[in-house]
Amino acid sequence: MNKSKKWLVGSVAFALAFTLQAPFAHSATPTVTVVMPTQWKDAFAPEIAAFNKSNTTVNIEVNWGGAQDQLIAANKSPDIINTGDLFVAAQKNLLLDLTPYMAKDKTINSKDFYPALLNAVKFQGRQLALPYRFNVGLLYYNKTLFDSAGLAYPTAKWTQKNLITAGQKLTKSSGTTATQWGIGSTFGWWGEWLIHVRQSGGDWLQDGVVALDSPEAIKGLTFFRDKVSKYDMSPGPKADSLGGFSGGKTGMEYGGHTGNWPGYNAVSSLKWDISVLPRGSKSSKGAELALEAWGVSAKTANKQAAYEAVKFLTSVAFLTTQWTELRLPPTRISVANAALSVPVAKRPSPQNLEALFGGIATGMTLPRTIPFIKVTQEVVQPIIDKMLEGTLTPQEAGDQATAAANKALSILQP
Amino acid sequence: MSVKNRKDTRNFFAFAGISVIGFLAFYIYPIVRTIYLSFTNTSIMDPIHTMVGWKNFERAIKYDDVFHLALKNTFKYAICVAALKLLLALLAAILLNNNLKGIGAFRTIFFLPFIIPTFAVSYVFRFFFHPANGLVNQSLDKIGVSGIGWYADSKTAMATLVISSLWGFGVPMLIFLAALQQVPKELYEVANLDGASRWLQFRVITFPAISAVFLFNVILSSVDSLKSFDLAFLMGHGEGYPANSTLLYSVYLFNQAFKNPWSLGYASALALIFFAILLILTGINFRLGKLYVKNEN
């Protein structure tokens, strides 16, 4: 073999050795993927990078701002899936049952999760995800507007009567144009009317059938309509909402969503807090309790590693970062207790965390059935829209919605 | 096979191969896949699916009231939009079919809205038609007329959507304009000498001359209106808001596939039903076209 051939063979052998060793060097730590919103990057990226550096069991790779649903549709599902109580039924075969992993894990401390939240992502006896954030129906109020009107802030003892009185006092107008609203309204979303129904003692289902025609449900629908048309304290579908609660010209928000908190806190002039949502009836069992959770794709090649990643994303340390940096309500009791231990005056908005975490005990989770969202949004919502337009009375809307929803469910229920 | 034939065959595959592969991959495969999915209960979020026979079609045709409403809305919308768009396009083309100075600028201005993205258009129209502080109601208010709910009222939302859809008549207008420019000028000169009115000239000379193009535009506009999606999706909050009044077939189909519970199988059945409807309507258009399309000879 002449000199040049020796060089060539040597070079090829070196290149092969270099190429082949590269994947093995990385294979020691399996990588799992997850999609997260870009808005979370500043808060979470350093934490995840530190975790990746400090452990040898899993490496978390975040797809910031990716589209999870599209990836799943394209058969390129991330290993960790963002799910929730409303999705587990439809995703029951997509998500890995975490029960056996949790059973043999001595460090997960699953009792630290609020039981209601953990149970909400359990489907047919299988723990399909671990909760990381939640929403409960609350009364949101603008402190500045309350102070200007000389009104006392809402308390847990408030009734719907107090709410109406305050709402009307907070509403201001110039001629026929409203310049300030007492209470905000959201249109075209099932969560809005359902919270009114539940606060009045009604519910979506009673004994397995839709019961929006019950006297309690009708009472809730009536209040939903009357906020706009009788008490004139809330914008109707055709009115100017003045930018909603974050616009600073709306005194209160009925129900609201904790997912809006980062947006509210981004408005520096908005001084706001929360309170327990007043009930319209003593028979009310409570408002909405919904949550988001991290699950593991059943198709992942690294099931144990993905479970470890989910465990990290729902750990005390990570949920603390999630709470302190993004104000997304944590699902672990210990993190909640740490938040509650901060003196009220030193807490950033919202300060009434007792109302937030107390709401978990009284809140009602939503039905974990596949057609729930479809029927509430496609079948019932249009009838509620007509009620708000004045075409239907609450009783007619309740009757029509019940008949239409029960018919749809009879076709869609497996 | 001779050397020349072999060379021809090789050249054929070399040149046509890429487009044949593209056609198979991006047209034939999706169609075959859609047909297959329509007979399953596939959900994007469920890796397990089973064959359900004709159940998806049966559900849509027999039981799904929202589907029936979406279909009705779509026909209403398509008839109004296609007819008004054709009328506007034809009028604009006739107006622009002259040799006035600066007519090119007008042609560009009329075509310009077509290149503006729909999401921008939807925001502009939402601003125009906002019931409380929109430009239209404020202007009406100034002349003492009380405004209406426009897109926020289920009684007027469809009309608002139709009005908002008319901005994009640039393509049929250009096609009409091209056809109008082919009509021999001498015919009009003779008609003028004979004292024929403008309307008579249009009826006897212009329309027969552009009738084939008219049929083409009828088919193009009606198919285009029937499968409208983006503006209805944006203006109706993706849900046909308010009260399903702006829920078009394509929006409903999209919601079935890409919203909870992500029923891709059912959405595929809806897509095939829609395909059949379009096919039938196009056939009807062709049959009707025979009544008014004049042969060039």
Q: Which domains does chain A have, with CATH numbers?
A: 32-62+77-136+290-351 (3.40.190.10), 138-285 (3.40.190.10)
CB A348 within 8 A of CB A68: no
Which of A238, A374, A412 should we substitute to test contact with B (largest number of B Cβ atoms within 10 Å)?
Answer: A238
pLDDT score at B98: 81
Rounded-to-integer distance, Cα A145 and Cα A179, Å: 12
Chain B interface residues (partner A, CB cutoff 8 A): 43-48, 59, 63-66, 130-133, 149, 152-155, 237, 239-245, 255, 258-262, 264
Is A6's pLDDT higher than 70? no
What's the burial of B60, exposed, middle or buried (CB within 10 Å: 0-12/13-18/19+)? buried
pLDDT band at A384 (very low <50, low <70, confident <90, very high): very high
Across the interface, of A72, A389, A408, the residue whose CB is closest to B154 is: A389
In percent, the amount of chain B with pLDDT more than 70 equals: 99
Asked if pLDDT for residue A27 goes beyond 60, the answer is no
Mean pLDDT over the full length of chain B: 91
Q: Is A124 exposed, middle or buried (0-12, 13-18, 19+ CB in 10 A)?
A: exposed
Whether pLDDT at A98 is above 50: yes
Task: Give the tokens for residue B296.
Answer: 């060039």
pLDDT score of A414: 62
Residue with tokens 């589209």: A67
Predicted confidence (pLDDT) at residue B233 exceeds the cutoff of 90 = yes
A59-64 vs A126-127, strand pairing mode: unpaired
Distance from the Cα of A240 to chain B's closest Cα (Å) equals 6
Considering only the beta carbons, identify the residue of A69, A238, A374 that sits closest to B132. Answer: A238
Taking residue A402's Cβ as centre, other Cβ atoms within 10 Å add up to 19
Report chain A residues touching chain B, CB-CB < 8 A.
69, 72-73, 86-87, 89-94, 177, 187-188, 237-240, 298-299, 370-371, 373-374, 377-379, 381-383, 385-386, 389, 391, 404, 407-408, 411
Inter-chain residue contact B153 with A238, CB threshold 8 Å: yes
DSSP B217-258: HHHHHHHHHHT--HHHHHHTTTTT-STTTT--HHHHHHHHHH
Minimal CA separation from B68 to chain A, in Å = 12
| Minimum CA–CA partner of A392 in chain B | B243
| Count of A-B CB contacts under 8 Å | 93
Q: Cβ–Cβ of B149/A238 closer than 8 Å? A: yes
Three-state DSSP at A176 gives coil
From B285's Cα to the closest Cα of chain A, the distance in A is 33
User: What stretch of H or E contains A141?
Assistant: strand A138-142
Q: How far is B155 from chain A (nearest CA, A)?
A: 10
Which residues in chain B have Cβ-Cβ distances shorter than 8 Å to A413?
none
User: CA-CA distance, A84 to A89, in Å (whole number)?
Assistant: 10
Residue type, A186: T
pTM (2 decimals)? 0.89
| Beta carbons of A287 and A363 less than 8 angstroms apart | yes
The rounded percent of chain A whose pLDDT value lies above 90 is 85
Name the phi and psi angles at A39, rounded to 5. Answer: -60, -20
Sign of CA dihedral A337, A342, A344, A350: negative
Q: Which of B48, B131, B239 sits opposite A188 (nearest CB)?
A: B239
The predicted pLDDT at position B289 comes to 87
Q: Which is it for the CA torsion B238, B243, B248, B252, positive or negative?
A: positive
Across the interface, whether the CB atoms of B44 and A377 are under 8 A apart is answered no
What is this model's ipTM?
0.87
Name which of B45, B63, B240 is nearest A72 (Cβ-Cβ).
Answer: B45
If you average pLDDT over residues B124-135, what whole number do you get? 92
What count of other Cβ atoms lies within 10 Å of the Cβ of residue B176?
Answer: 25
Q: Which pLDDT tens digit goes with each residue over A198-217?
A: 999 999 988 889 999 999 99
pLDDT at A325 over 70: yes
Take residue B215 and report the two structure tokens written for it. 């049929």
Q: With 50 as the cut, is the pLDDT of residue A25 above it?
A: no
Testing the interface with B: which of A297, A372, A380, A385 to mutate, by most B Cβ within 10 A? Answer: A385
- The DSSP output letter for A326 is I
Provide the shortest C-alpha distance from residue A97 to chain B (in Å).
14
Summarised one tens digit per residue, pLDDT across range A232-284 is 999 999 999 999 999 999 999 999 999 999 999 999 999 999 999 998 888 88
φ/ψ of residue B47, rounded to 5: -70, -15
Segment A349-364, tens digit of pLDDT: 999 999 999 999 989 9
Q: With helix as H, strand as E and coil as C, how does B146-208 read?
A: CCCCHHHCCCCHHHHHHHHHHHHCHHHHHHHHHHHCCCCHHHHHHHHHCCCCHHHHHHHHHHH
DSSP state of A96: P
- Looking at residue B201, its pLDDT comes to 93
Give A-chain residues touching B63 at CB under 8 angstroms: 411
Structure tokens at A282: 């003593």
| pLDDT bucket at A8, cuts 50 / 70 / 90 | low
User: What is the Cα–Cα distance from A86 to A70, expressed in whole angstroms?
Assistant: 19
Q: Please, what sign has the CA dihedral across residues A252, A256, A258, A259?
A: negative
**At A139, is the pLDDT very low, low, confident or very high (cuts 50, 70, 90)?**
very high
Give the DSSP per-residue string, B43-73.
BTTBS---B-TTHHHHIIIII-HHHHHHHHH
Higher pLDDT, A14 or B91: B91
User: Where does the pLDDT of residue A5 fall: very low under 50, low under 70, confident under 90, or very high at 90 and above?
Assistant: low
Q: What is the mean pLDDT of residues B55-63?
A: 96
Inform me whether the pLDDT recorded for B172 exceeds 80: yes
Backbone phi, then psi, for A346, in 5-degree steps?
Answer: -95, -5
Cα first-last separation, chain B:
44
What is the length of chain B?
297
pLDDT of residue B13: 84
What spatial distance separates the first Cα and last Cα of chain A, rounded to whole Å?
A: 74
Residue A375 has pLDDT above 70, yes or no: yes
pLDDT at B110 (0 to 100): 79
Tell me the pLDDT band of A346, cut-offs 50, 70 and 90.
very high
Residue A323 CA to its chain's centroid (Å):
14
Separation between Cα atoms, residue A245 and residue A356, nearest integer Å:
18
Contact at CB, B43 and A299, closer than 8 angstroms: no
Nearest CA of chain A to the CA of B241: how many Å?
A: 6
Alpha-carbon distance A278 to A260, whole Å?
Answer: 20
Per the document, the length of chain A is 414
Contact B45 A91 (CB under 8 A): yes
Q: Which residue has the higher pLDDT, B285 or A52?
A: A52
What confidence category does residue B296 fall into, taking pLDDT thresholds of 50, 70 and 90?
A: low
Q: What is the pLDDT, as a whole number, of residue A18?
A: 54
Dump pLDDT digits (tens) for B42-57: 999 999 999 999 999 9
Q: How far is B225 from chain A (nearest CA, A)?
A: 23
3-class DSSP state of A350: coil
Average pLDDT, chain A: 92
Rounded mean pLDDT of A148-168?
Answer: 96
C-beta atoms of A391 and B154 within 8 A:
yes
Q: What is the pLDDT of residue A189?
A: 92
Q: How much is the pLDDT for A9?
A: 65
Residue that the structure tokens 């608002």 belong to: B160
Phi, psi (degrees; rounded to nearest 5) at B10? -60, -45
Contact A281, A161 (CB under 8 A): no
- Counting Cβ atoms within 10 Å, is residue B142 exposed (0-12), middle (13-18) or buried (19+)? exposed
Where does the pLDDT of residue A14 fall: very low under 50, low under 70, confident under 90, or very high at 90 and above? low
CA distance B76 to chain A (A): 19
In this prediction, residue B268 has a pLDDT band, given cuts at 50, 70 and 90, of very high
CA distance A86 to A374: 11
Residue B2: its pLDDT value, please?
74
Given this structure, which CATH class describes domain B64-292? mainly alpha
Buried b (16+ CB within 10 A) or exposed e, A265-302: beeeebbbbbbbbbbbbeebebbbbbbbbbbbbbebeb
- pLDDT tens digits for range B69-105: 999 999 999 999 999 999 999 999 998 888 778 888 8
Domain positions in chain B are: 64-292
What percent of chain A lies above the pLDDT cut of 70?
93
pLDDT at A247: 96
